[in-house]
């Protein structure tokens, strides 16, 4: 089964939500809300590629997708519904514009232009009222640059525009997905 314009995907591990965390030998639910966008599963497995697609993504690859892809919600009458991406069962259709990165089995993540992924820098100077944030605002480390960013290497320190941070949890790390146009400064210094 293939679509002319959409990828057909399944949520990784069959879970629509990534809302549990193991602490020791126990598994804890960290959020029970369907509305909590921070715990929706954002990793999918490609079942089939669009008929007119000729990019690098292949069936069996993992992809990072939009946070609403697998979401459940309640309509105006209180009935539980799936997102507009839902096809049937565990199958979902997503447009290429809703895929932000991919990796082949056993490979590493590759960001897809115009998106890249940046890890926030921890603030080590948390003393007093004026410097009490956990992260340095508007600075981060480039983790997954895209093919348009040939001048920015992985590990480079970058600065980005305010309100461009869109939080993802990828391989246990908090990363910000943002567009290439949101990066305003780069440093030759590596982090």
- Contact assessment for residue 101 and residue 64, using Cβ atoms and an 8 Å cutoff: yes
The helix (run of H) or strand (run of E) holding residue 64 is: strand 62-65
| Two tokens, residue 84 | 């507009």
Residue 11 pLDDT exceeds 90: yes
pLDDT digits (tens, 9 = 90+) for 95-110: 999 999 999 999 999 9
Q: Are residues 14 and 79 in the same domain?
A: yes
pLDDT cut 70: percent of the chain above it? 89
Among candidate residues 73, 108, 143, the one where a domain is terminated:
108
Q: Are residues 99 and 119 in the same domain?
A: no
Q: Is residue 159 part of a domain?
A: yes
**DSSP bridge partners of 90:** none
Among candidate residues 108, 137, 155, the one where a domain is terminated:
108
DSSP tag of 35: T
Q: Are residues 55 and 136 in the same domain?
A: no
Chain centre distance of CA 145: 14
pLDDT digits (tens, 9 = 90+) for 87-143: 999 999 999 999 999 999 999 999 999 999 999 998 877 666 656 678 888 999 999
What values do phi and psi take at 155, rounded to 5? Answer: 95, -10
Contacts of 25 (CB under 8 A, 6+ apart): none
d(CA 36, CA 58): 30
pLDDT digits (tens, 9 = 90+) for 23-78: 888 877 766 666 666 667 789 999 999 999 999 999 999 999 998 888 888 889 98
- Provide the pLDDT for residue 128: 60
Q: Is residue 69 part of a domain?
A: yes
Q: How many distinct structural domains can be found in the chain? A: 2
- Provide the pLDDT for residue 126: 62
- Contact assessment for residue 94 and residue 69, using Cβ atoms and an 8 Å cutoff: yes
Q: Are residues 19 and 99 in the same domain?
A: yes
Query: Domain containing 168 — which CATH number?
Result: 2.30.33
Its pTM stands at: 0.83
Place of tokens 């210094």: 189
Mean per-residue pLDDT, 81-92: 92
């Amino acid at each position: 089964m293939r679509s002319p314009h959409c990828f057909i995907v399944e949520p990784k591990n069959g879970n629509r939500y990534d809302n549990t965390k193991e602490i020791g030998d126990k598994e804890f639910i960290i959020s029970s809300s369907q509305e909590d966008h921070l715990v929706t599963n954002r990793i999918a497995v490609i079942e089939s590629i669009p008929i007119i697609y000729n990019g690098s993504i292949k069936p069996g690859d993992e992809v990072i997708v939009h946070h609403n892809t697998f979401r459940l919600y309640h309509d105006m009458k209180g009935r539980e519904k799936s997102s507009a991406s839902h096809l049937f069962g565990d199958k979902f259709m997503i447009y290429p514009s809703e895929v932000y990165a991919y990796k082949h089995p056993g490979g590493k993540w590759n960001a897809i232009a115009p998106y890249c992924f940046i890890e926030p820098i921890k603030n080590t100077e948390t003393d007093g009222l004026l410097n009490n944030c956990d992260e340095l605002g508007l600075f981060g480390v480039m983790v997954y640059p895209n093919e348009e960013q040939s001048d920015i290497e992985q590990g480079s320190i970058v600065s980005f525009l305010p309100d461009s941070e869109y939080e993802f949890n990828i391989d246990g790390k908090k990363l910000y997905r943002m567009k290439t146009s949101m990066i305003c400064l780069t440093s030759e210094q590596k982090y």
